[in-house]
Chains A and B, each alone.
Chain A
Amino acid sequence: MVTVPAIVLAGAGRATLPAFVAATVLVLLVGWCVSLFAQRLAAVGGVYTYTARGLGPVGAVVGGWSLAIGYAAVSMSALVGCALYLAALFSLPSSSVALLVLLVGGLAGWCTVRGIQLSARVALALEVVSIAVVLVVLAVLLLRLPEGLGTAAPVVDGDVRWGGVAVGVVLGVTAFMGFESAGVLGVEAQRPLIAVPRAVLWTPAVAGVLFLVGAVAQVVLLRRAPLEVLMSPVPVSALAGETGWLVRLLDVGIAASFFACVTGSVNALARVLFSMGREGVLPAAFGRVHLRRGTPVQALSLCLPLVVGVPFVALLAGAGGRSVLTGTITVSAFGYVLAYVLVCAAAPLFLRRIGELTVWPVVGGLVAAGLWLLVLVVALGGESWQGGRAMSWAYLAVLLPGAAWAAWLALRRPSRLARVGVYDEPTVASVLPGSMAA
């Protein structure tokens, strides 16, 4: 809600808001496709399991891997974001950001290893507080709107390029990050077949409204701001520069919400790797849990250093905080979109397999999958966009080993793929006694 508009404005110009509306509509379609699954099965693996039920194990492993890239990259970018806003809060020099990344990463790691109970509550509280703060600050700023256009106006009203628009739509996805992960908790919820579809449909709707409100406000504000503000590592904070104590509160709020995003995505990443480890797709070590706390320690201890290390090294190597943030968030959005394409395509196939196919899921699933695929391809090939092409290559380079691994397993070790997509079966206790005898 905070980071994405400024990043997209730099690439999509005038088409920013339409791109965000398109992203919201497309994400709602994905939510609907996911709810088709969620009404019918409660699964630990979430989207990964759903894809397996429709497209089979290879599609699921590719989608799951892409989603894992998405989670890993978004936790990196949130880590950098948190460090950037902390540096702005304490007026630290930009050289300190790398160290802050290490510090925040360590804290987030501690939270996730302690167990999801803590992280989920912390995340919810942080999120609510920071959204409230951001809305208040944007409202205050809109009330004191300066006269005349700023130097950023030519960029904000900049020309429309298809590559930029596609990237805008793809990045719009990051505002809905993790809405599908309600599916993951399906097994723990009380009435999963009712609660999860509801959550999967309503979360993107609510998030979409907040996101669009935030984006409109920022477009209006940035049009009247100097170019330095638009291109600064912390645009919203720079916008609010004049408001005194409010800007401190804003920095705290945004840093906290980035922190919540780190713990949330690291948890989700560990869960996907854990599922794959349990099913034998990845080495069994990923499936190990902490004896006392029940958290997937092994998966966490493998992905945490990666999540902290990549941005740390990039920052040390001299990359600017904002470009690391932009780069990782782009890779993460690519990861999400491919997973969405696959799960949308899987929906009608799944319904056909269980003999409940009707017209609308076919139309909805194919339209959603097709449009997302189109957007993804255009964005991957996106020309003349700051560092966009490099990130496309980075994403493809990380995706390739996963896809190759899936193909190798399918050809050489089909037995290891057989267990992909474990879902909860009704316990004997929930079937009417006697009715199973037939």
Chain B
Amino acid sequence: MAADGGLSGRQPKAVQSALAVLECVARLGAGVTAKEVAESLGMPPATVYRLLNLLVGEQYLVRLPDLSGFALGRKVAGLAGAIAPVRVPSAARAVLADLRKEVRAGVHLILYTATTLRVADMDPDLPLQDPALVERHLHATAAGKLLLAEQPEWRDLVPPAKLTRLMRATVTRPDALDACLTRVRADNWAGQAGELHEGTACLAVPVRDAEGSLIAGVAVTSSRFTVSVDYLPSAYRFVDGLVPLLT
């Protein structure tokens, strides 16, 4: 964001005010009007309106259908998700342990918020080479592709300029990623081979709550050169068992 706007960090007041507006919308709840925010903060209305429109433009807030009310946007969920401690119920861990016995590959549990993912439970015997990479390069991992496929517009999470080429096989062209995500939506699972590490393939199967939102995923990694689709049936069977434990 800073690149084009030339934000020098020398407008601390503006940043403080924007955060105060965000906080105020969170406190007063969905449907709060611009005027109420201005009154509650004691700030000049024109400033508050401008900040509200900026935050709506950046999708930290949304306007409700009547156009006068505001609510927190999905990007806020991403902020919150990044600091919340990860808790996996022990019953869910038991289900994962069963799956690990059945497949000869690394089985990991991924937890999702609306815009982020966390590696919540890594296979102790066959760990991920670098979980931080999985959380950062969404376009190059199976778990990340599941999350991107869930977005109304993936470019909001990963600007096309940030489609880093990590390996030769990494998808870096926006239209190629578009096609890939369309396939993910149709198949309801995601896979990649050699996009993050040479010679490592991965597939991820979603865990959805009753409304169909993506809440978690089971990722299966193996040292192969193609996506190991033969693990799909077992992964799906265990995912069904995870749904009641994670929702």
Contacts and interface: CB of A to CB of B under 8 A. Distances in A.
Nearest to B113: A433
A412 interface: no
Contact of B45 (A358, A429, A436): A358
B72 A435 contact: yes
| A191, A432, A435 — most chain B CB neighbours (10 Å) | A432
Contact of A433 (B59, B66, B77, B155): B77
A354 B68 contact: yes
A436 B30 contact: yes
B35 A430 contact: no
Contacts of A432: 71-74, 76-77, 114
Contacts of B29: 435, 438
B62 A355 contact: no
Interface string A193-207: 110000000000000
Contacts of A193: 53, 56-57
Contact of B71 (A39, A191, A436): A436
Interface string A103-127: 0000000000000000000000000
A437 B59 CA distance: 19
Contacts of A358: 45-46, 49
B108 to A, nearest CB: 24
A208 B35 CA distance: 36
Contact of A429 (B46, B66, B67, B74): B74
Contact of A191 (B62, B156, B213): B156
By DSSP majority rule, is chain A's interface helix, strand, loop, or mixed? loop
B152 interface: yes
Contacts of A40: 53, 56, 63, 67
Nearest to B66: A354
B35 A355 contact: yes
A91 interface: no
B65 interface: yes
Contacts of A433: 74, 77, 114, 213
Interface string A411-438: 0000000000001011101111101111
Contact of B62 (A190, A423, A431, A438): A431
Contact of B64 (A53, A360, A426): A426
Nearest to B215: A433
A227 B52 CA distance: 57
Interface in A53-78: 53
Interface string A356-376: 101110000000000000000
Contacts of A256: none
Interface in B62-114: 62-68, 71-74, 76-77, 114
B175 interface: no
A236 interface: no
A351 to B, nearest CB: 8
Contact of A426 (B46, B53, B63, B156): B63
Nearest to A197: B57
B34 A355 contact: yes
Interface string B40-55: 0000011001001100
Given A191-B156, A194-B57, A432-B72, A426 B62 contact: yes
A432 B74 CA distance: 4
Contacts of A360: 46
A41 interface: yes
Given A190-B153, A431-B71, A432-B73, A426 B65 contact: yes
A360 B114 CA distance: 38
Residue of B45, B62, B65 contacting most chain A CB atoms (<10 Å): B62
Residue picked from B30, B31, B152, most chain A C-beta under 10 Å? B30
A424 to B, nearest CB: 9
A427 B153 CA distance: 12
Nearest to A429: B152
B155 to A, nearest CB: 6
A433 B77 CA distance: 8
Contact of B30 (A354, A359, A435): A435
B42 to A, nearest CB: 16
B114 to A, nearest CB: 6
A396 B76 CA distance: 52
Given A432-B74, A438-B30, A39 B59 contact: no
Contacts of A359: 46
A389 B53 CA distance: 45
Contacts of B74: 429-433
Contacts of B33: 354-355
B1 to A, nearest CB: 11
A438 B63 CA distance: 15
A32 to B, nearest CB: 14
A355 B156 CA distance: 29
Contact of A438 (B31, B65, B153, B213): B31
Given A193-B56, A425-B65, A356 B49 contact: yes
A190 B56 CA distance: 14
B126 to A, nearest CB: 33
A367 B63 CA distance: 28
Given A358-B45, A429-B152, A436-B71, A191 B77 contact: no
Interface of B: 29-31, 33-35, 45-46, 49, 52-53, 56-59, 62-68, 71-74, 76-77, 114, 152-153, 155-156, 213
13 contacts: A40-B56, A353-B68, A356-B49, A358-B45, A423-B67, A425-B65, A427-B152, A430-B59, A431-B72, A432-B71, A432-B114, A433-B213, A436-B71
Top 8 closest pairs, chain A to chain B, by CB: A354-B68, A432-B72, A194-B57, A438-B29, A425-B65, A358-B46, A193-B57, A426-B62
Given A356-B49, A433-B114, 20 more contacts: A39-B53, A40-B56, A40-B67, A190-B155, A191-B59, A191-B156, A354-B34, A355-B33, A356-B34, A356-B35, A358-B45, A359-B46, A426-B65, A430-B59, A430-B152, A431-B73, A432-B77, A433-B74, A435-B72, A436-B71
